[in-house]
Amino acid sequence: MSITNNKRIEELNEILRKEPGGGREYILFLDSIDSLEELEILAPTLNESGDSAFVDFYRQNLKKWPNPELAPGFKSLCPLLSAKLDTPQKVRVLLRAASFMGISPLIMGEVLENIIRRHEIQGENKVFYQCSSGDQYERAAQIATYTQMQAWTIIQLAFPESTDRGFSSRGGGCYIGWTT
C-alpha cells in the first residue's frame, strides 16, 4: 500500500474518531474520494464504521461520473460557481445534486450562480430566489431547503458560510441567508 493510501486511511480514521456518527468533515472527506480504486482502498475502514450504505452510494456515484466535467459554456455562464468547482470531485457534487433534483446541471448552475452573485458581489445577506411555481429553476432553488446529503453537499460547496435556508414567505421561491 502506498504512502498516499496510508495517509488517506489515517485521515479517515482521525475523522471517524472526531465524528463517530459522521458529520461535516466526514461527508466532505467522502466527497474528496476521486476514484473507484481509492474508494475500494477505504471501503474496509468505512464498512468497519458501519457505513456500507455510503460505500455503495459513492461507488454508484463514481461509476456514474468517473471523469466529471462541466458542460461547454458552463464556465462562462457561471464563473463564480465554476471557481468553486475546481476539482472533478466538486463537479461530481454538482452533477449529483442536479440529478437528485431531476434537472440539468446547467439550470442548477444558473440558479446557484445567481445566488452567489447576489451575496458575494451585490452584498445581499438574505437572498430570495423567486420563480414560477413548478418550473426547473424553482426545483433548483428548492435544493436549499433539502437536508439530504445530495443537497447538503452542494449547498456547503456553493454557500459555505450560509446560516439560514428555507421557503420564502413571499411565495414562489426560497431564501438563503448569511449572518454577518
pLDDT tens digits, residue range 7-37?
A: 999 999 999 899 877 788 888 899 999 999 9
93 pLDDT band, cuts 50/70/90, is: very high
β-partners of residue 164 are: 177
Instruction: Quote the pTM value.
Output: 0.88
How confident is the model at residue 180, as a pLDDT? 63
Confidence label for 76 from pLDDT (cuts 50, 70 and 90): very high
**What gap in Å lies between CA 16 and CA 135, rounded to an integer?**
40
pLDDT for the residue numbered 170: 62
Joined together, the cell numbers standing for residue 167 give: 421557503
% of the chain at pLDDT higher than 90: 53
Q: What is the CA radius of gyration of the chain?
A: 17
CA torsion through residues 10, 57, 176, 20, sign: negative
CA dihedral 68, 73, 75, 80 (to 10 degrees): -120
What is the three-class DSSP state of 112? helix
In this structure, what C-alpha cell is assigned to residue 52?
Answer: 456500507
The pLDDT assigned to 3 comes to 67
**Res 87 pLDDT > 90:** yes
Q: Residue ranges per domain, the chain?
A: 1-64, 68-180
pLDDT (0 to 100) of residue 20: 76
Encode pLDDT of 127-146 as tens digits.
988 766 677 888 888 888 88
The residue among 52 and 63 whose pLDDT is bigger is: 63
Give the per-residue pLDDT at 149.
85
Percent of residues, the chain, with pLDDT higher than 70: 93
